[in-house]
Structure 1
């Protein structure tokens, strides 16, 4: 993983160099980076908005229990010529509705009229259909909440992974800088020897070449650190800068923990379970589509007209006055119960329910597959942690031996018994051992993070970090 940090593209580094490199003024802990990322990340805010929208949808669906109350008022001006005859309008009413007896002849007498009404309509019982729709909205709101928790968990893992990568990149940068310092001392020693005739001049050229190569590796390590800083800044939702991280991850080694246990509360499995519950509820809603509706209704109506009641016998019995036409001259009310049953919907509900049940079975199978993958990941993470611990132990032995070999090689060269090749090889061995140790140390923490990801809980990882900070 650390080698990948050193080999990433130069395009991202160019982007970084074009930005103002502002250093983080204080130490950034892992906990602070997680809190900042969870607060700023756009995907999390989007999930929060979807959860809030689902909550509002649930409130809206519950309000379907309320009766409909419709207030209506209209004031018109027109004629009332009527006639006997059939009429059908397939696109809706396209005729002027009148309330008058047919007259012997057409006339253009016009007056004002008015209609005022209050309509109350209440679905007393939908025989469980509305209850199931409300439960479906509740399942949807619960699923959006689970998706939000999953996004927070996944982003927390991504931020922690990026934090570990940056910590390792900073250590590799430091190691390459120390390697440049060592080779600078080697070059000074070689030049002293060649100046006094103890070593051939080619040794100085060889030492200068090794020093130039070390400086190039140092610059590449710096580039990798900047790239890792950029990735962490993006995940945190903050402007790019150079971060000062806590030294926990290269100073302390986490302890072995119990094997990760995969439970239904894992955020990934919780989302799958929410999808299954939502699908099962959709099937219940589909099965209730063919049920009848029992409704109660009431209507209070008042009408006014500028045409008097004897207008059929006396065509002059009307008034063009606005005041005479818009008042209430007659009133009516109606109240009752109604039962409606769409039998076609009953037939369609069987196939709709079967389709939704099939989709629910598919969701259950996906849930089982996700469980199997998490169990395999948990076992893999456990083995990876133990292997990383062994690699770290061997890397410490390697570093100790490399440092001892460098000291011996330096002493041999100073005494004229060693060659420049032996000295530079000893220097390279120290640098390689230090790099391997840092990568091994990072591997242990990454394996522990993988265990936490398999268990669906970052708290054990964070507890190890706190324990390393406060031994």
Structure 2
């Protein structure tokens, strides 16, 4: 099954569509990106841990043991302490004939069952911890999912603006190349000074460098976007019509309660509080219902000879069970001194809860700042986008006039190259201005915690 999933993921990562819309990019990243799949695995882990905790309370614990030993059976009167199982007990009375090195085979088998009848609130506390752990894992997944969607959307916009900037530089290069061809021909015919041809050649080289640099940046951003999508070839085109032709409607309220990052910290605090309560309950005892069956065999006879000595048989017949017993009843064990240890553990967990609370407060302040910053960026971007067409129209007019003046011999090549540079800058500013408005809306909705409106307007 795991191999099939990995093969499926690899196949998806290799099949990048030629034209990639924003919705397709986000859906693809959600399905394939490793960090999101890791958070899903953490949810499954927390759910399995909850089942394990529930089974520990709902089902009886059943254990079985069996042993076959070849040993002596010397005994003395007195008391010994098992010392965590390291002391080996010997059953039976003191031998009449003293201590001997006679060894026999013996057997012992036990089937023991126990069930927690009363746990004084420990079960409920552990169930609360398990539930809080699952809620925290789900909130962490939603946080990772949301933040990745925002990152993909922002990377898509950046890739788009660099892709369009490359197209502008290509257009600028073609314009300057045509300009150079005309000047070079006229200069060769003696109609223009040779310096004009040299300056035009320099402008062609400059435009070529700008084109190459623009292509490099655009390709780098494509690679970054492909990485966020889970891998695959970056040879795709983005859909730019919506972002370049229209502006989004900005009608967002400053409500941050739905922010997945804040929800994650809230669930983290809840989990820590539940864990504190479980620690406080952990020192309490449990009343156990226990039942057992056991049987034993021995190579030592139950009867003595005429001298009062027990009969020993070193054969394997001592492994045969001879005595059978059963037991049922209630037991409890309370380590009362654990209260001092658990008290300090609970205090430590309380300090962690306070730490999480302060981290939550810090994140809330940061989110508030992000919303205010997004408002400022949108207002500024909107003013810029209003001026961008004016700048572009003026630059186009200046270029047309400079070209006409140069063709008429009324201006120098310097004036014409300056107008070309001005037009190129205006064309770049035009696409950046539109893109910045969309990015400001994305940043605002990211702080609010829901980018659905952005995605709907981008369709």
- TM-score over 0.5 (shorter chain): yes
Q: Distance in 2 between matches of 1:244 and 1:319?
A: 90
Say yes or no: does 1:367 pair with 2:360: yes
Q: Secondary structure at the match of 1:393?
A: helix
Say yes or no: does 1:31 pair with 2:6: no
Instruction: Give 1:53's match in structure 2, choosing from 45, 48, 72.
Output: 45
Q: Distance in 2 between matches of 1:141 and 1:413?
A: 73
Larger displacement relative to structure 2 (134-143 or 394-403):
134-143
Larger displacement relative to structure 2 (324-333 or 95-104):
95-104
Q: 2:252, 2:445 within 8 Å by CA — same for their partners in 1?
A: no
Q: Distance in 2 between matches of 1:161 and 1:214?
A: 28
TM-aligned CA deviation for residue 237 of structure 1: 1.9
Q: 1:41, 1:236 within 8 Å by CA — same for their partners in 2?
A: yes
Q: Which residue of the partner structure matches residue 420 of structure 1?
A: 413
TM-aligned CA deviation for residue 25 of structure 1: 5.7
TM-aligned CA deviation for residue 137 of structure 1: 1.9
Q: Distance in 1 between matches of 2:342 and 2:140?
A: 30
Residues 315-334 of structure 1: CA distance to partner in whole angstroms, max 9, x if unpaired? 46344442x32333222222
Q: Distance in 2 between matches of 1:342 and 1:91?
A: 15
Instruction: Give 1:317's match in structure 2, choosing from 311, 324, 337.
Output: 311
TM-aligned CA deviation for residue 88 of structure 1: 4.9
Q: Distance in 1 between matches of 2:266 and 2:424?
A: 50
TM-aligned CA deviation for residue 197 of structure 1: 4.2
Residues 309-367 of structure 1: CA distance to partner in whole angstroms, max 9, x if unpaired? 11486546344442x32333222222221233222122333333333223222322221
Q: Which residue of the partner structure matches residue 7 of structure 1?
A: none
Residues 51-75 of structure 1: CA distance to partner in whole angstroms, max 9, x if unpaired? 2111111111111112211122222
Q: 1:306, 1:319 within 8 Å by CA — same for their partners in 2?
A: yes
TM-aligned CA deviation for residue 443 of structure 1: 0.8
Alignment of 1:410-449 (within 5 A): 410-449=403-442
Larger displacement relative to structure 2 (252-261 or 168-177):
252-261
TM-aligned CA deviation for residue 286 of structure 1: 2.1
Say yes or no: does 1:121 pair with 2:110: no
Q: 2:108, 2:294 within 8 Å by CA — same for their partners in 1?
A: yes
Rate the CA distance shift 1:284–1:235 in 2: closer, same or farther, 3 A.
same
Say yes or no: does 1:259 pair with 2:262: no
Q: Secondary structure at the match of 2:18?
A: strand
Larger displacement relative to structure 2 (63-72 or 75-84):
75-84
Structure 2: gaps spanning 5 or more residues: 1-13
Rate the CA distance shift 1:96–1:343 in 2: closer, same or farther, 3 A.
closer
Q: 2:18, 2:235 within 8 Å by CA — same for their partners in 1?
A: no
Q: Which residue of the partner structure matches residue 137 of structure 1?
A: 130
Residues 9-58 of structure 1: CA distance to partner in whole angstroms, max 9, x if unpaired? xxxxxxxxxxxxx9966201111211222222222222222221111111
Q: Which residue of the partner structure matches residue 214 of structure 1?
A: 207
Residues 240-272 of structure 1: CA distance to partner in whole angstroms, max 9, x if unpaired? 432211123543233222224333331101110
Residues 428-466 of structure 1: CA distance to partner in whole angstroms, max 9, x if unpaired? 111010011111122111111101211111211110111
Q: Which residue of the partner structure matches residue 6 of structure 1?
A: none
Q: Secondary structure at the match of 2:337?
A: helix
TM-aligned CA deviation for residue 190 of structure 1: 2.0
Alignment of 1:55-94 (within 5 A): 55-65=47-57, 66-88=59-81, 90=83, 92-94=85-87
Say yes or no: does 1:160 pair with 2:146: no
Q: 2:258, 2:450 within 8 Å by CA — same for their partners in 1?
A: no
Residues 114-143 of structure 1: CA distance to partner in whole angstroms, max 9, x if unpaired? 222221112211101122122112211221
Q: 1:249, 1:442 within 8 Å by CA — same for their partners in 2?
A: no
Q: Which residue of the partner structure matches residue 400 of structure 2?
A: 407
Q: 1:198, 1:416 within 8 Å by CA — same for their partners in 2?
A: no
Q: 1:84, 1:102 within 8 Å by CA — same for their partners in 2?
A: no
Q: Secondary structure at the match of 1:317?
A: strand
Q: Which residue of the partner structure matches residue 11 of structure 1?
A: none
- CA-atom RMSD, angstroms? 2.2
Residues 389-417 of structure 1: CA distance to partner in whole angstroms, max 9, x if unpaired? 21111011100111111111111111222
Q: Which residue of the partner structure matches residue 458 of structure 2?
A: 465
Q: Distance in 2 between matches of 1:189 and 1:276?
A: 72
Q: Secondary structure at the match of 1:106?
A: coil
Say yes or no: does 1:274 pair with 2:264: no
